[in-house]
Structure 1
Amino acid sequence: MVHRTIVTASSALFLAGPAFAAPLCGELGFAGLLAKCNRGEPIEITLASGKPLGKGPVTLQSGAYYEMRITADGSAELAITGAPFFRAIWMNEIVINGIEVRPMGIDSLEFDEAGTATLSFIAIKPGSYEVKIPDTTSDSQKVEISIQ
């Protein structure tokens, strides 16, 4: 009797199919997850001495494509770190001054002068994360990001 119950329960799970977050659009087409309809709003991060990094918490949807634009104003040599967040996404590319880099993963980015880096990625692993200026404790020096 117990064996039959286990078989019935496991069959129901198998027939139900995999659980996954729905993309932002119904038909992804040939581009798949990189399709234009599967793109969320850009995330703007500003690296400036004494100024907040962003405008509050950011919520992303697992399976959706995003761009994070990190702009440094050159007022100080600043970095942004967030290894747990960077491990929870699939990085498509980082574009710096027109140079496209396709990394396996990153830990941080440091800006010695003014400039912009654009990270394009797909949010993967649900959870709560943060990107921040290293060795800071102020809430304005970090951006909380949740992937649902």
Structure 2
Amino acid sequence: MKPVRLAAGLVAGLALPAPGAAAPLCDDLGFAGLLAGCNKMDLPPLTLSAGKPIADGPLGLSSGVYYRLDIIADGTQELGLVGPDFFRAIWVDEVIVNDIEVRPMGLHSIEFDRAGTLRLTFIAIKPGQYELKIPGSTGETQRVDITIR
């Protein structure tokens, strides 16, 4: 009888969220699941410009939340962002460039040859510390630190 109680207790414990576990922004996601409108959040835009910082500060994300991130290049220099670890820690819904929607299986990096805006929509999945940075750069203002909790 004791093994049955122990097994039942373990199964019941699996259904409880871990302390401090991330959760969606709303309780009633409905049929849309994590893509529900109440679970979407806009992030401050990232800027690609010669001699200017990419972001005002680090980004804090929650696992299970759907985000919209605009990346804006002003065309002063050919610039890109690389962040393979970050891109593997998220589920990319779509990348929108000039009103063209692309739904990739994944990303490694992006690059702007001239001025433009890219919108990245995604769900943060894997908790951890990540970065997006301009390839080959070492300055702190040439990267943005991202934490997924």
Fold in common (TM above 0.5): yes
Aligned in 2, Cα 1:7/1:96: closer, same or farther, shift over 3 Å? Answer: same
- The 2-side partners of 1:68 and 1:120 are apart by 6
Asked if 1 retains the 8 angstrom alpha-carbon contact of 2:90 and 2:123, the reply is yes
RMSD (CA atoms): 1.7
Map 1:124-143; keep pairs closer than 5 Å: 124-143=125-144
How many residue pairs align between the two structures? 145
Following superposition, the deviation at residue 51 of structure 1 comes to: 0.4
Whole-angstrom distance in 1 between the partners of 2:129 and 2:4? 36
Q: Report if aligned partners of 1:81, 1:134 keep a CA contact under 8 Å in 2.
A: yes
| Cα distance in 1, alignment partners of residues 84 and 16 from structure 2 | 28
Contact 1:43 1:66 in 2 (8 A): no
Match of 2:100 in 1: 99
> Are the structure 2 counterparts of residues 18 and 90 from structure 1 closer, same or farther at C-alpha, using a change threshold of 3 Å?
farther
Structure 1 residue 9: deviation in Å?
A: 4.8
1:14 correspondence with 2:11: yes
Q: Which amino acid aligns with 1:13?
A: L
Answer whether contact 1:91 1:119 (CA < 8 A) is retained.
Answer: yes
Distance 1:5 1:128 in 2: 42
* SS state at 2:42 partner: coil
CA distance in 2, matches of 1:18, 1:113: 49
- Greater than 3 Å deviation, 4+ residue runs: 4-11
Identity fraction in percent:
52
Q: Which runs of 5+ in 1 are unaligned?
A: none
- Alpha carbons of structure 1 residues 44 and 15: separation in structure 2 relative to 1, 3 Å: same
- Contact (CA 8 Å) 1:95, 1:101: kept in 2 or not? yes
For the 8 Å contact 1:127–1:146, the answer to whether it is kept is: yes
Partner of 2:35: 34
In the alignment, the residues of structure 1 paired with residue 8 and residue 66 of structure 2 have an alpha-carbon distance, to the nearest angstrom, of 33
TM-score, with length taken from structure 2:
0.90
Are residues 34 and 6 of structure 1, via their aligned partners in 2, closer, same or farther at CA, if it must alter by over 3 Å? same
Q: After superposition, give the CA deviation of every residue in 1:43-95 in whole Å (9 maximum; x if it has no partner).
A: 31100001000010110010000011100000000010101000000000000
Q: Which amino acid aligns with 1:75?
A: T
Deviation at 1:32, TM superposition (A): 1.3
Unaligned runs of 5+ residues in structure 2 are: none
